[in-house]
Amino acid sequence: MKTKYPPVYYGDYLGLDKLLSCQRPKSEEYEGKIAHDEMLFIIVHQAYELWFRQILHELSSVQTIFGQEYVNEKMVGICVARLRRVTEIQKLLVDQLHIIETMTPLDFLDFRDFLLPASGFQSYQFRQIENKLGLEPGDRKLFENSSYAARLSKEHRNLISEDENQPSMLQLVNGWLERTPFIEFNGFNFWQSYRASVDTMLENDLDIIKTNPNLLPEERERELTQFKSTREHFEAIFGKSKHDELVKKGLRKLSHKATQAALLINLYRDEPILHLPFGLLTVLIDIDELMTTWRSRHALMVQRMIGTKIGTGGSSGHHYLKVTASSHKVFEDLTNISTFLIPRKNLPELPEDFIKSLGFYHTRKK
């Protein structure tokens, strides 16, 4: 096949000579003999970093698209596809833990001491991923009472700092949701209709709790307490001041208007114009869940490998990873939208003109 471009050799294109010379076991350097499983340990972690680079490539492209003056439906579809790719990579990252677990704790001890004080906590690319998604410094659990970037080199700390100063996916999606026109249209007020449906649903739930003959007194009391909490959650979706108070306390991340828009998209996701927006919100939840899954599995792997011993980075890594699995979530507001869903049969019927107005070519406010 003739081409106007010079011929390319497979190994040269992939830089294999350089790539395959990057595995330099410390056991061989220090003792003149390779600890067999150190090669596996190096390759698995190098593979992680390569996949981290691809995730950063995908996230950066989506950030660029959502940072434009407007985001049309075609571009939303592209973003969903790229973020879906991120979730597939995340699944692979979780599966890689099965490979490293073919190394036994005794195998790890053959070279563990040569790695001090290097640690996975020094993966600056993973920190960049967290920052690009929207994990704020103030929301991070302190690692040994110090900043999450404290153990990085000055060069890598600078890279992390740059990411912190750029709009994250959470911030960009929040702005995109806020530009959704939906509150009122030609006299139709969705929220009044929705609230009426919610009030009816809650009254029915309360009646069931009060009249259920199978509930013991203490069970009924627990159900009533939970019902009160549910009603308070709904009050926050209807009242901006209540929602803003939760944001101020750090209990919500999305603005009131963005949260309402996300709810509308979820409630009316069957409308063709809302398929892609719903897909986008769903894939962001998937990314959050898979990050949690990876952290949880990673914590179990660390515990399995070193037990309660101090890690190579000088700390109890297992405990820290376990804590961050439940606390370092970014898109929890989107996950919790399910709190406000009501059955399809109870949804207010949208006027035809209202449905036609739900286009997603929204100009950013300046």
Q: Which pLDDT score, from 0 to 100, does residue 35 have?
A: 96
Residue 216 lies in a domain: no
Q: Which pLDDT score, from 0 to 100, does residue 314 have?
A: 45
β partners of residue 146: 143
CA distance 366 to 362: 12
Question: Are 276 and 270 within 8 A, CB to CB?
Answer: no
User: Which among 61, 18, 277, 17 is positioned nearest to 169, based on CA atoms?
Assistant: 61
Give Cβ neighbours of residue 115 (< 8 Å, ≥ 6 apart): 26, 312
Question: Are 257 and 178 within 8 A, CB to CB?
Answer: yes
Q: Which pLDDT score, from 0 to 100, does residue 360 have?
A: 45
Residue type, 74: K
Residue 5 lies in a domain: no
CA distance 224 to 55: 45
Angle at 40 (CA atoms; ends 34, 42), nearest 5 degrees = 85
Give Cβ neighbours of residue 364 (< 8 Å, ≥ 6 apart): 68, 69, 70, 175, 179
Residue 302 lies in a domain: yes
Residue 68 lies in a domain: yes
pLDDT digits (tens, 9 = 90+) for 38-57: 999 999 999 999 999 999 99
CA distance 141 to 148: 8
β partners of residue 143: 146
Q: What is the pLDDT along the chain (366 residues), one digit of tens a residue?
A: 678 899 999 999 999 999 999 999 999 999 999 999 999 999 999 999 999 999 999 999 999 999 988 888 789 999 999 999 999 999 999 999 999 999 999 999 999 999 988 888 889 999 999 999 999 888 777 766 677 777 888 999 898 888 888 999 999 999 999 987 655 566 667 788 889 889 988 999 999 999 999 999 999 999 999 999 888 888 888 889 999 999 999 899 999 999 999 998 999 898 888 889 999 999 999 999 999 999 999 888 888 888 765 554 445 566 666 776 677 899 999 999 998 998 888 888 877 777 666 554 444 554
Residue 12 lies in a domain: no
For the domain that residue 111 is a member of, what is the CATH number? 1.20.58.480
Range of the domain at 50: 23-182+252-356
Residue 161 lies in a domain: yes
pLDDT digits (tens, 9 = 90+) for 135-144: 988 877 776 6
Q: Which pLDDT score, from 0 to 100, does residue 247 have?
A: 92
Q: Which pLDDT score, from 0 to 100, does residue 84 have?
A: 98
Q: Which pLDDT score, from 0 to 100, does residue 309 have?
A: 58
Residue 361 lies in a domain: no
Residue 239 lies in a domain: no
Global model pTM greater than 0.85: yes
CA distance 193 to 270: 19
How many independent structural domains does the chain possess?
Answer: 1
